Amino acid sequence: MPKKSKLDPRAYSRIVVDGIKQAPSRAMLRAVGFTDTDFDKPQVGIASTWSNLTPCNMHINELARLAAAGVEAQGAKAVTFNTITVSDGISMGTPGMRYSLVSREVIADSIETVVGAQGFDGVVALGGCDKNMPGCLMALARLDRPAVFVYGGTIRPGTDKRDIVSVFEAVGAYAQGRVSEQQLKFVERTAIPGPGSCSGMYTANTMASAIEALGMSLPNSSAQDAVSEQKRSDSERAGAAVVNLIKRGIRPRHIMTRRAFENAITVSIALGGSTNAVLHLLAMASSANVKLKLDDFTRIGKRVPVLADLRPSGRYSMSELVAIGGIQALMKSLLDAGLLHGDCLTVTGATLAENLRDVAAYPAGQEIVRPLSDPIKRDSHLVILYGNLAPEGAVAKITGKEGVRFNGRARVFNSEEDSLRGILAGKVRAGDVVVIRYEGPRGGPGMREMLSPTAAIMGKGLGSVVALITDGRFSGGSHGFVVGHLSPEAALGGALALVKTGDEITIDAERREITLHVSAVELKRRRGLWAPPKPYARRGALAKYSAQVSSASLGAVTDLE
């Protein structure tokens, strides 16, 4: 266990509010509700991602209030502030989706900015939609002040267990003539019943689970319904927990160690989680000064099986996993098998093994999480590929249901919009490898998620006979034979930019290779004729992001040393 530092509980707030010269600061704070006694207390910032623009975050204001109450019940002073969120589900398939990954950086920067400026001694960060979680954790790692993360919780399934992916796939089915306009409207109206993050093991639930395994949220915080007493209690207990961390001098970098990141990777694999876990864990590790690489996912993935039968490729929703006890029993079985590092410190102040000591097994007869002796897949579904199309790496999500090898002819599109039009118009046929390029971190910019194209392929019944590759990325709701994060990206002259419709491409998950069957001589000729695309934006947030962002193989961070 790492040594704990001796931390003055008011090490940061003391600078802001103590002494004669800080009278102006105290005057300002009195106006927002501080009293004389509050100036002698540790101050905890409550970083809320509340917004009424998405179901994922619409309830977080109440959870933030409860977290603040938990802080103040322990004798500290809570101060709540907001940061942004954007909705992937709403912006998906539109130019607005370019801002999704950008929002991760804005969230991290804004939390770091407020906490650094205001001199908070600790932080509780609450997140719901996908980018909230890594954004919060990146800020907490940078600041390295006592902190706890609270997940906003999962949404309950809609009618007939529908969710947002059901709507995307219904659009493809409508284009194929298998669903009427009236049926599509019914799916639209019944898929999203209220607050919470998307209901499968998509990116939000994947990242919440990874963060719990990392040790930065309380036990079972990742596996609670958004609208539940358990989530309300989790929020209040998080407030109390951060005060305990302040008193004990336990900081995020005591918790966010390399071994803890290996635990997060292990749990993400066992749950069949999103490919975005690769991108976000790399980014979070970078902020914590932990050297994590793509090849670590391969190394760990060789010995960790997929155990959870969860959507999008499986049968069950997160709420059904919640009903049988969440991920704690899964983690206990992984720990007992020697697949987790039990000595890692957590925000409870105890180790992971201590937290899991009295966890009971799943109830008999449940089929959501398989035993280690009978896995869904004996190694990881997150497959890192290399080859002449991705010399710096690419990330595939291969559960085994899609097969492990695909050979076909390229069907090239230069944007997500072009690909969706082509798929819905019937231009994509069995045996095609759909190529969507110029959607990388810099070229997109923002590395849009390809849920609309992958859902349209599924909806048209082509999921088992078509592959899709891109320098963009995928929603956790995407499934099928899909490969993303191809690096270097097309906009930087990566080989993806040189592919022509009709070229032969092979994706081999067993050999971990992705190959364009075009000679080096021909690729050199094509490169001589290639010109980079014009930037999508020349000013503003997208332009700044494009100028600063690193490769997807490094987490697409904007503050790389």
Residue indicated by tokens 């992958």: 454
The amino acid that residue 529 corresponds to is: L
List the structure tokens of 36.
């004389």
Task: Confirm if 284 and 137 have CB atoms less than 8 A apart.
Answer: yes
Contact assessment for residue 156 and residue 323, using Cβ atoms and an 8 Å cutoff:
no
SS3 394: strand
Cβ-contact 215, 198 below 8 angstroms: no
Q: Are strands 147-151 and 382-387 parallel, antiparallel or unpaired?
A: unpaired
Task: List the catalytic residues.
Answer: 475
**Residue 394 — φ and ψ, nearest 5°?**
-145, 160
- Which residues fall within 8 angstroms of residue 92, CB to CB, at 6 or more apart? 168, 449, 451, 452, 475
Which two three-digit tokens encode residue 219? 């036990």
Distance CA 514, CA 376 (A): 24
Check: CB of residue 304 under 8 Å from CB of residue 376: no
Calculate ∠ Cα 176-177-181, nearest 5°: 120
- Specify the 3-state DSSP secondary structure of 387: strand
HSE-CB for 98 with a 13 A CA cutoff: 23
What's the CA gap between 201 and 406, in Å, rounded?
25
CA distance 449 to 277: 13
Amino acid at the residue 268: S
- Its sign, for the CA torsion 142, 144, 145, 151, is positive
For residue 46, list its beta bridge partners.
80, 124
